[in-house]
Amino acid sequence: DDRVTGKLAEFCKNAQIIHIDIDPTEINKNIVVDIPIQGDVKQALKILHDYIEPNKDIKPWIKQVQGWKKEFPLEFKLKKGEIVPQAVVSEINKLADDDAIFSVGVGQHQMWAAQFLDFDRPNNWLCSSGLGAMGYGMPAAMGAQVAFPDRQVINIEGDGSFLMNIQELQTLKIENIPVKNIILNNAHLGMVAQWEDRFYKSIRGHTFIGDANFAEVAHAFGIKSESISDPKDIVPALKRMIKHKGPYVLDVKYPYNDKSHGHVMPMIPTNHTYLDTCLDANTSLRDYWKKKGLLEE
């Protein structure tokens, strides 16, 4: 998959590649690997684990990562009178329980949630990752809530992703599953629009999906809901959502912005390598390495 390999000719050129897949037709399909293993990944990893010696000293690597985080901090700019979606994620991160379970769909909201939520234990982050399953968030949250009825479960969705399984609001209501849904609603398929902005001169291919009021939709299902569009309402609305005992939908409306601060960064363009990662509107990782003298012209 392009999202995994980037430019095939440049993918892990100096590494030995082990490919584990239960489907033999997938092995060597895109990249010729050094060690092909047909089988169940769980069983294969258990066997491989016995052959791997643990690296006892990982302090240098941790120090390196911490240095990168200081040099490239995740940040966002607030805008007067407009909700900034990253700020919503940042605030729910502060207000949620320490053991809260978060789920996401697919889109810009998914990336911002990954960037601005903190996790310190396994299985608190439910994400379809490279599968790209729009609509995954709410069903995943429902399953987690049923499995862990005493824990807080929060689903962060985009408007496009939420529409994929919006009918499950009926299940939330009927079964009284107290999942809290935060919809980052910019009336667009934001991630696709971002690619259009950066690589297709902002020509829209049906990425505007309309200004739906999901609070009214949730109300029609009999679910407590609220819609906000003013940044001063973010924290009070999140607190009301958390306090409510049953299922909840918080529709967070904000304008889609085709400028760089409205895009998810960093990103790798299609068929490029990690060195071509866009760090911001004007700088790539390749530029950074050259500036550091770590990459030849």
Any idea what the CATH number is for the domain that residue 120 is in?
3.40.50.970
**Triad 65, 19, 62: Cα angle to 5°:** 10
How many Å apart are CA 1 and CA 118, to the nearest integer?
A: 28
Assigned domain for 281 exists: no
pLDDT at 141 (0 to 100): 98
pLDDT-derived band at 271 (thresholds 50, 70, 90) equals confident
**Domain presence at residue 122:** yes
Residue 1 has pLDDT above 70, yes or no: no
Report if residue 197 sits inside a domain: yes
Look at residue 177 and tell me if it is in a domain.
Answer: yes
Q: Taking 80 as the threshold, does the pLDDT of residue 59 lie above it? A: yes
Instruction: Please say if the pLDDT value at position 257 is more than 80.
Output: no
Residue 233: left (phi > 0), alpha (psi -120 to 50), or beta?
Answer: alpha
| Domain contains 36 | no
Which of 87, 85, 84, 120 lies closest to 102 in space, CA to CA?
120
- Would you say residue 24 lies in a domain? no
pLDDT at 259 over 70: no
Q: Give the pLDDT confidence score for residue 38 in this predicted structure.
A: 96
Q: What is the mean pLDDT of residues 210-237?
A: 97
Output the pLDDT for position 269. Answer: 86
| Number of compact structural domains in the chain | 1
Establish if 164 belongs to a structural domain: yes
**Mean of the pLDDT values across residues 204-216?**
93
- Tell me how far apart the alpha carbons of residues 109 and 160 are, in angstroms, rounded to a whole number: 10
The C-alpha atoms of residue 142 and residue 63 are separated, in whole angstroms, by 38
User: Which residues constitute the domain of residue 139?
Assistant: 85-261
**258 CB neighbour count, 10 Å cutoff:** 15
Q: What is the pTM of this model?
A: 0.89
Tell me the average pLDDT across 224-237.
Answer: 98
Q: Are 8 and 31 in contact (CB under 8 A)?
A: yes
261 pLDDT more than 80:
no
Judged against a pLDDT cut of 60, whether residue 260 lies above it is answered with: no
Q: Look at the block and give the residue holding tokens 């601005």.
A: 116
Residue 283 lies inside a defined structural domain of this protein: no
In Å, the largest CA–CA distance within the chain is: 62
